[in-house]
Each structure stands twice: as C-alpha cells, then as structure tokens.
Amino acid sequence: MDIKKLQALVVDALEDVKGQDIRVFDTTHLTSLFDRLAVASGTSNRQTKALAASVRDKVKENGGSILSVEGGDTGEWVLVDLGDMIVHIMQPAIRDYYRLEEIWGEKEIKLGAAKRTSKRKASEAEEEAPAKKPAGRHLAASRGEAEAPKKSAPRKTAVKTAASKTAAKTATKTAATKTASKTAKSAGTTVKVATRKAPAAKRATARKAD
C-alpha cells in the first residue's frame, strides 16, 4: 500500500474514535525499519484499545497488513505495527514521560487534521440546526418591525389634501366678493358683476329701449 494512503487511513481511524494530539513523522532518514511513525493520546485504557482496534480494522478493510498489536492487555501504551508505519497510542502521562516526539520528530508531516475535523463539525452543525421559520405578524409586531404601508394610503392622502385646498380657495374667493360688495355699497358706487351674455334677441330689445 502507498505510504501516503496508509498514513491517511491511520489518521482517519484515530479521528473516528476521538484520538487526541495526533502527530505523524517521516522517519526515512533515521531508520530503514519503517517510513512513518504516528503518535496519539487516549484518555483511558478503554479508549486506547478502541483507537488501536479502529486503526487495525480500517487498514484491513482497505487491503493493508497488520504485523502485530502490542500492549492491548493493559491499555496504557498500545503499539500497532503496520510494517511501513508504526502507530503508538498512549495515555497522556505515559506519553509525557517517554517523549517519542523528541526522538523521532525531526520531520513532522502536516496532515491538516484540524481542518478536516472543523469542516466535519461545521457540516454536522448545519444538518442539526433547524430551518429558520419566518416570524409571524404578532412576533414581528413585538419585535418592533413596522409593516410596509399600503399603496393606496398615499393616494387617499393626496385626494384629501387637494379637496381641502379647493375648499380653502373657494372660501377665500367668497369672502373677498362679500367684502368688495360691502365696500362698494358704503362708498355709493356701482359694482359690476360679470354674467353670461344674453341671447341675440334680448340684446336687440335692450338696444331699442335705450
């Protein structure tokens, strides 16, 4: 199996069982026995055993070979030998004591495990999040959201305004006419009021009378 595919399978298997602080190192320049070394932490004996079982099963399913699994009886430090890759699964206290990273960790391989995990959590959160329903009218009113004004409202307002302006003009003209008539009477003058033209026959009669 290709070493890159093998290391990807190992990292995925460790992530599936929530392995902590997963790190992979290139050891080709240090030994000819194996090309990669992986280190991961488990918080309990049960989890370290589950992590080792996950690595074993995943590699087998994809056609890889398992040479040996050691330390499964205690669970403090489980070693999975995959031939070209060695996987150390340790509890935090054991890992801090032996410090394998200082021995084999000259060339660490960046696998972007954190990015894959964050993307997976984000997709799970989107699936679990319920669809957001539109707020009802009563809820919108309680939030202070004003409803859009109806289109007919401005039109009605404009009609009322025009009517009030016409009434004001009519009242002003009527008041002015009355005032002019009173002023003319008091001065003794004749006020001419414009009227419609009389028919032709009536105009002729009026001329004869003159």
Q: Provide the pLDDT for residue 114.
A: 42
The total of structural domains in the chain comes to 1
Q: 181 in a domain, yes or no?
A: no
Q: Provide the pLDDT for residue 105.
A: 84
Name residues of the chain where pLDDT drops below 50. 113-115, 117-119, 121-122, 129-154, 156-160, 180, 183-198, 206, 210
Q: Mention every residue, 6+ apart, whose C-beta is less than 8 A from residue 16.
A: 54, 58
Please write the tens of the pLDDT for every residue from 158-203. Answer: 444 555 555 555 555 555 555 545 544 444 444 444 444 445 555 5
Q: Provide the pLDDT for residue 1.
A: 86
The pTM of the full predicted model, rounded to 2 decimals, is 0.54
Q: Provide the pLDDT for residue 135.
A: 45
**Dist CA 23 CA 41 (whole Å):** 10
Q: Provide the pLDDT for residue 207.
A: 54
Q: Provide the pLDDT for residue 159.
A: 46
Q: 96 in a domain, yes or no?
A: yes
Q: Which amino acid is at 50?
A: A
Q: 196 in a domain, yes or no?
A: no
Q: Provide the pLDDT for residue 120.
A: 54
Q: Provide the pLDDT for residue 191.
A: 43
Q: 89 in a domain, yes or no?
A: yes
Please state the φ and ψ torsions of residue 24, each to the nearest 5 degrees.
Answer: -125, 140
Helix, strand, or coil (residue 7): helix
Domain span at 100: 3-110
Q: Provide the pLDDT for residue 175.
A: 52
CATH number for the domain harbouring residue 18: 3.30.460.10
Q: Provide the pLDDT for residue 64.
A: 93
User: Which DSSP string do the residues of 55-104 spell out, in sequence order?
Assistant: HHHHHHHTT----EEESTTT-SEEEEE-SSEEEEEE-HHHHHHH-HHHHH
Q: 58 in a domain, yes or no?
A: yes
